[in-house]
Amino acid sequence: MSSIKDIAGHKQVSDALLETKERLQAIMDASPMAISWADFEGNLEYNNNKFRELFGYTIEDIPTIREWRRRAYPDPAYRDSLPSLFNSLIEAQKQDREMTPIEITVTCKDGSIRHAAQMGALVSNRILAIYNDITESKKTEEALRESKERLQAIMDASPVAISWADFEGNLEYNNRKHFELFGYTIEDIPTIREWRRRAYPNPSYRDSIPFLFNAITEAQKQGREMTPIEVTVTCKDGSIRHVTQMGALVSNRILVIYNDITELKHYQNFLENLSATDGLTGISNRRRFDDFLEQEWRRAMRSKTPLSLILMDIDLFKGFNDNYGHLAGDDCLRQLAQCLAGIIRRSIDLAARYGGEEFACVLPDTDLEGAMWVANRIRQKVNEMNIPYTFSSIANHVTISMGVATLVPVPGQSLSDLIQNADNLLYMAKQNGRNQIRGEL
């Protein structure tokens, strides 16, 4: 929870609030919290949109703090029990401590009741009052504490990071959430250019992200809302955060809002990995294999580089299951998958369960010689594993047969050509005695 002392003492907030009345009102009307502004004589000068939406009162209804208290707290006993916001702020400053949020029950203009947590700040010669609506969350003290923690600086009640810059690209303000998420202060990133350099250190990635100002103005020209831009931010400590970035033009300033989706992104990646993983063996499944092979086929077509495919089959696996049982068969499949995972180590390669007792390896940028070397390494390792299979007519341990195909894709060829070649070669290996590798262009 942002402290009132920090809000009042934050130079950038003060500068932003005092620069112009137009800018102040734009900030406050964009806030999801109710905000009221009064002078030290108790004259209310401004209530934002959220204030009017929550409580129904306009400045004409409540021209002074005294009238606000009379209308909002009609019960004199309750009204007298509430400390003055101004006095509370002064007392907190004298004692050099944070102001404690005041929980209030407000009678709205239409007679309905709302519960709110009231906080404030002394800014120049004005009193800023902030009301966080806790009507729905006031079921337990825990809900209230969470609501207080969500109370942020003036420009946000929700956990979003906000940055404020002029049209020359000078960053004037980052809110507390911005600092919490990314770790940068204004001194670290005084300009948008420096923010982009620090947040997106990879030049190719940085160049691929549209300038927010251009994206905002383009959306305005087309009379539509700006589409959120998903970006990956490198924080000051070197960690990575995923956020959606949006913005608005307010007066002569650029308001940038970042919504942290790091956890959501991790969860999405987890689900994607889960959906692409074979549940029994833990390596990639057929769906992932199909997607990856198609992607690498297109890339090989563009770059005119070789793409190799190894298809392999455990020899006489039905007999293994019949004699040792399906649990032993599953364990055999897992051991073979671990073998493949230990050999197929390049980040650009893929080992997958193709189906049943069949496995496959996709080897981009690999010619037939290289693919045959990998295949022989796999076959050697499987033999060294020496998984007992005394009922086999080939050997006294589990063996595999493999077909290895390589193509440099050219127009007129299709991915099915590569798969069919590898499948034919696997068939030849099995027809000619099994426990062998067949490969040719």
- For residue range 39-55, what is the model confidence (pLDDT) as tens digits? 888 899 889 899 999 99
Give just the sign of the alpha carbon dihedral 421, 422, 427, 429: positive
**Apex 304 CA angle, 301 and 309, nearest 5:** 70
In a domain, 155, yes or no: no
Same domain, 18 and 124: yes
Which residues share a beta bridge with 362?
309, 350
pLDDT tens digits along 118-165: 888 887 778 888 898 888 877 555 544 543 344 334 554 446 888 888
Q: Mind giving me the DSSP string for 10-36?
A: -HHHHHHHHH-HHHHHHHHHH-SSEEE
In a domain, 270, yes or no: no
Which comes out higher in pLDDT, residue 212 or 410? 410
Question: What's the confidence (pLDDT) of residue 273?
Answer: 67
In a domain, 391, yes or no: yes
Question: What's the confidence (pLDDT) of residue 3?
Answer: 47
Does the pTM of the predicted model rise above 0.85? no
Question: What's the confidence (pLDDT) of residue 15?
Answer: 54
* Residue finishing a domain among 231, 261, 291: 261
Question: What's the confidence (pLDDT) of residue 325?
Answer: 94
Same domain, 428 and 304: yes
Q: pLDDT-derived band of residue 24, with 50, 70 and 90 as boundaries?
A: low
Round the average pLDDT of the chain to a whole number and report it. Answer: 84
Helix (H, G, I), strand (E, B) or coil at 312: strand
pLDDT above 90 for 261: no
Average pLDDT over residues 260-287: 81
CATH classification at residue 344? 3.30.70.270
One-letter identity of residue 262: T
Same domain, 309 and 425: yes
Question: What's the confidence (pLDDT) of residue 208?
Answer: 79
Same domain, 112 and 34: yes
pLDDT tens digits along 377-426: 999 999 999 999 999 999 999 999 999 999 999 988 999 999 999 999 99
Question: What's the confidence (pLDDT) of residue 203?
Answer: 86
| Annotated catalytic residue 357 | yes
Give φ, ψ of 113 to 5 degrees. -115, 135
Residues 6+ apart with CB under 8 A from 249: 216, 217, 220, 255
pLDDT tens digits along 323-337: 999 999 999 999 999
Average pLDDT over residues 210-225: 77
Which comes out higher in pLDDT, residue 363 or 177? 363
Same domain, 371 and 402: yes
Same domain, 251 and 367: no
pLDDT above 90 for 84: no
Direct distance between the N- and C-terminal alpha carbons of the chain, in angstroms, rounded to an integer: 66
CATH classification at residue 167? 3.30.450.20
In a domain, 268, yes or no: no
Same domain, 144 and 165: no
Count of domains in the chain?
Answer: 3
Same domain, 294 and 427: yes
Average pLDDT over residues 262-277: 74
Q: Distance (Å, rounded) from C-alpha 315 to C-alpha 311? A: 13
Same domain, 242 and 144: no
Give just the sign of the alpha carbon dihedral 14, 16, 18, 19: positive
Q: Token pair of 125, please?
A: 């010669």
* Greatest CA separation for the chain: 100
- Strand residues in 68-176 grouped as ranges (E): 102-107, 113-123, 126-133, 160-166, 171-174
Same domain, 93 and 198: no
Same domain, 107 and 229: no
Domain residue limits at 116: 4-150
The active-site residue, picked from 142, 272, 357, 358, is 357
In a domain, 222, yes or no: yes
Same domain, 198 and 220: yes
